[in-house]
């Protein structure tokens, strides 16, 4: 998903997204984004905190890290992968991903926008009268490199 991202263009998008979300891209928030960008693969909060603390040369508390991840998620820059309990960069410019395909081997995540799937799920939830709270739908598999 983010192999093609240059840090400069991600940072540029982050500045715009944060501005639209009414938050500032503080050095620490930028460091979290940069850490995810550099990792090139989803990270658990624990891994992020550890890598961030090392990069910053000081201990970053879990509360600050979770707060930052929540803010960056709300701004559409970071996505939590529920099934893997990890975080990755979100590459969807409009933040709309209907399916997350995750690799059981390397953890790689691909975001897919699929209006047909979205409509089908909306239709199903209407029919059965069940409000869906977990979106996007996560599907596990093995990527080309791991297969
Ligand atoms: Zn893989």
Query: What are the residue boundaries of the structural domains of the chain, listed by start?
Result: 7-89, 99-141
The angle, 0 to 180 degrees and rounded to 10, between the axes of the packed helices 27-39 and 45-56 is 120
**Ligand 1 centre from 139 Cα, in Å?**
13
Cα–Cα dist 110/130, whole Å:
27
Confidence of residue 107 (pLDDT cuts 50, 70, 90): confident
Domain 99-141 fold:
Dna Ligase; domain 1 (3.30.1490)
Helix (H, G, I), strand (E, B) or coil at 139: strand
What's the pLDDT score for residue 130? 86
Q: What is the pTM of this model?
A: 0.84
89's CB contacts (< 8 A; 6+ apart) are 1, 2, 5, 10, 33, 36, 37, 77, 78, 79
Q: What is the pLDDT of residues 23-67, one digit of tens each?
A: 999 999 999 999 999 988 899 999 999 999 999 999 999 999 999
Q: How far is CA 147 from the centre of its chain?
A: 24
The alpha carbon of 2 and the centre of ligand 1 are apart by a number of angstroms equal to 14
Output the CA 123–ligand 1 centroid distance in Å. 32
Looking at the DSSP bridge assignments, the partners of residue 139 are 101
Q: Which CATH number fits the domain 7-89, given the four candidates 1.10.3720.10, 3.30.413.10, 1.10.10.10, 3.40.50.80? A: 1.10.10.10
CB 92 within 8 A of CB 111: yes
Cβ contacts of residue 14 below 8 Å, gap of 6+?
25, 30, 33, 75, 77
Q: Is the pLDDT of residue 2 over 50?
A: no
Distance 146 CA to ligand 1 centre (A): 4
Residue 18: per-residue pLDDT: 95
Residue with token string 């929540």: 70
| CA 26 to centroid of ligand 1, rounded, Å | 32
């Amino acid at each position: 998903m983010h192999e093609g991202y240059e840090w400069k263009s991600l940072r540029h998008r982050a500045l715009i997204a944060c501005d639209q979300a009414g938050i500032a891209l503080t050095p620490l928030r930028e460091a979290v984004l940069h850490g995810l960008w550099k990792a090139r693969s989803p990270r658990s909060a624990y891994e992020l905190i550890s890598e961030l603390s090392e990069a910053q040369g000081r201990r970053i508390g879990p509360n600050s890290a979770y707060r930052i991840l929540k803010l960056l998620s709300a701004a559409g820059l970071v996505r939590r992968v529920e099934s893997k309990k990890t975080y990755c960069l979100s590459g969807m410019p409009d933040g709309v991903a209907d399916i997350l395909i995750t690799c059981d081997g390397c953890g790689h995540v691909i975001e897919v926008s699929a209006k047909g799937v979205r409509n089908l799920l909306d239709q199903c939830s209407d029919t059965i009268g069940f409000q869906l709270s977990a979106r996007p739908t996560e599907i596990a598999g093995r990527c080309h490199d791991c297969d």
